[in-house]
Amino acid sequence: MDNKKLEEALAQYAHETWSRWMKYMLSTEGVVLTAGANLRWKRQMETPYTELPEEEKESDREEARRMIAIFENLETQSQTIEANNIINKKLNEDLKKSYIHERPKPVSRPPQNREVDRTKVELTTGEPVPKDYSHTEIEPETGMQKGYIVLSDEERSKGFVRPVRSTYTHKKCGGNTTMGRKLAETYARDPEFYTGTFCAICGSHYSLTEFVWEGTGIQVGT
């Protein structure tokens, strides 16, 4: 249905809804109208939309255009959510490969730094990493995963190769996101542990190449 036909259909619906409401109101005790208003509104109530004068149809069309604007706004929001879900799904697949399926060999460090054991992992809650990766499911309300992997307390306690930083800036939107201590220490212990992260402003996940540590030009994950 094109917009003009939709507008007319909704205008007719608006008129019929108004007519039913006015009939109810006028049947209610205590509602008093002037003689002129009473005659005018009764005529409009009893006249089908298609037989109304053009100037009276136009008021119903204005209501129809308001409804169409609401529909279009909801459609745009739905398309944005769908696009974000596709991006998140692809990123989560890449993250799974990085964490589990294609785990790289332990990163070599200078002699004074111990190698990282990437098998020593858990969720930020301290719970084990689910074998079915259910923690990577996206929460519709926030755009975040249900859970995030970090190096275990034991592994993080071995020391850090980078400063512990908790806030990063998304170059795309300019907004800052602050993460919890366990996530920040995992970055400091093993900067290459993650391949992507979450922007609290955009409400979605992106590659680490899009983020720098707050107040620096240093890319997150390097």
Using N-to-C axis directions, what is the helix angle for 3-26 and 35-46, rounded to 10°?
Answer: 130
What DSSP assignment string belongs to 155-222? HHTT--SS----EEEETTT--EEE--HHHHHHHHH-TTS-SEEEETTTTEEEEGGGEEETTS-PBTT-
213, pLDDT greater than 50: yes
Distance CA 45, CA 47 (A): 6
pLDDT (tens digit, 9 = 90+) per residue, 44-85?
888 898 888 888 888 888 888 888 888 777 777 767 677 667
Q: Return mean pLDDT, the chain.
A: 82
Phi, psi of 183 (to 5 degrees): -65, -45
Q: Which residue has the higher pLDDT, 201 or 2?
A: 201
Q: Which residue has the higher pLDDT, 102 or 133?
A: 133
Per-residue confidence at 109, pLDDT binned at 50, 70, 90? very low
119, pLDDT greater than 80: yes
pLDDT at 32: 57
Q: Which residue has the higher pLDDT, 91 or 66?
A: 66
pLDDT (tens digit, 9 = 90+) per residue, 165-193?
999 999 999 999 999 999 999 999 999 99
What does the radius of gyration of the chain's CA atoms come to, in whole angstroms?
30
Q: Which residue has the higher pLDDT, 2 or 175?
A: 175
pLDDT (tens digit, 9 = 90+) per residue, 19-45?
888 777 777 655 555 666 667 778 888
Distance CA 99, CA 92 (A): 10
Using N-to-C axis directions, what is the helix angle for 3-26 and 54-96, rounded to 10°?
Answer: 120
2, pLDDT greater than 80: no
Q: Which residue has the higher pLDDT, 104 or 12?
A: 12
